[in-house]
Structure 1
Amino acid sequence: MRIISFSYLQFFTFLNMILVGGIIGLIFDFYRVLKRKMIFSVYLSNLFDFLIFLIFTFIVFVRLIQLNGGQVRWYIFLGVIVGNIIYYFSISKIAVKNIMIMTDSSLKVYYKIKKIFLKILGYVKLIITKLK
């Protein structure tokens, strides 16, 4: 009975790591699109790359602690890689297109709000200078 429950735990952990690999792929696509839209210096880009690596590591190990007490086995890495490959070949292109649409729309809204805010600020400055 102990062997069956241990094998079940390993299989369940493997399936969860496939899911985690897919989630990491989605987060990475989001990061890739943002990195393309916003221009960063080389140093800042390298810093963000390192931070995204730390975030991915944190996600994997938090999930491992939740699932099996943090035991790292070879099938953990295999599951993350398989999940990432499945994500990449199945829905990555669709996700990137949708993320680009969302970021473009968000940037348009941001620039419109910024333009309105700067106009209002210009009127306030004009009123203040006329009052002096």
Structure 2
Amino acid sequence: MTLSMQWLTMAVMLLSGLGMGTVFDGYRVVTNELRFPRWWLPVLDVIYWIAAGLIVFRVLYASNNGEVRAYVFIGLAIGIVIYYFLLSRFVIAIVKWMIGAVRKLIGFILKCLEILVVKPILLLYKVLMVIFAFGSALTIFILKIVIQLVRPFWKLFVWMAGPATRPLGRWLSRYASKWQLNEKASRLGQQIARLWGKWFRR
């Protein structure tokens, strides 16, 4: 392997070290800000190191066909050290700012949805309920007035139809007593009452 290839591989490993440090700080800040459970941290660490190892090996394979030499580890170490001494605080601050910006954006979207969608729907529901209640009250009031107006005519009709309906009533009463319609109606009412209590009063 030529010297230039070795220096190129070392530079690539230095950049890989910078990237590893950036990703590590980023996911640590995210887990702290989002309050992940403590037991998740070891699992995430294992996943991070497996992913980092695979990516670094893939980069190494692309740069020098996967040959592992001392300068590979030196480049990684230099990249990690440079990151933690020069860039770590800056990256952490950027990640925190991005998380805060995303939270504010989500809060703004939810507030807009509440103002433009939820509150109009609630207002429409309240208006419809008021209209329905007013309509029901008005309907009941009108029905009461109609009943009061019709009652004298109904009494007059019953009084006028009395002579014609009395013979019919006596004729029906004879058949009712003959077929025991009263007893059958009473038994039917009791059965309906038992079924009602069985089905709806548990």
TM-score for the superposition, normalised by structure 1: 0.79
Instruction: Say which SS state the counterpart of residue 66 (structure 2) adopts.
Output: coil
1:72 to 65, 68, 72: 68
Instruction: Say which SS state the counterpart of residue 71 (structure 1) adopts.
Output: coil
d(CA) in 1 for partners of 2:123, 2:41: 40
**Post-superposition CA distance 1:97-119 (Å, at most 9, x none):** 12211111111112332444466
**Post-superposition CA distance 1:59-105 (Å, at most 9, x none):** 21110111011111222122111101011111221221122111111
Q: Which has the larger radius of gyration?
A: 2
Change (3 A) 1:66 1:115: same
Cα drift, residue 8 of structure 1: 1.8
Which letter does structure 2 place at the counterpart of 1:53? Answer: W
Aligned residues: 127
Match of 2:81 in 1: 85
Match of 2:16 in 1: 20
Backbone CA RMSD of aligned residues: 2.4
TM-score for the superposition, normalised by structure 2: 0.54
Q: Does 1:52 align with 2:48?
A: yes
Which letter does structure 1 place at the counterpart of 2:42? Answer: N
d(CA) in 1 for partners of 2:61, 2:123: 59
1:112 to 108, 119, 130: 108
Match of 1:61 in 2: 57
List alignment gaps of at least 5 residues for structure 1: none
Q: Which stretch shows the higher mean deviation, 16-25 or 114-123?
A: 114-123
Identity %, equivalent residues: 28
Change (3 A) 1:47 1:19: same
List alignment gaps of at least 5 residues for structure 2: 130-202
Instruction: Say which SS state the counterpart of residue 42 (structure 1) adopts.
Output: coil
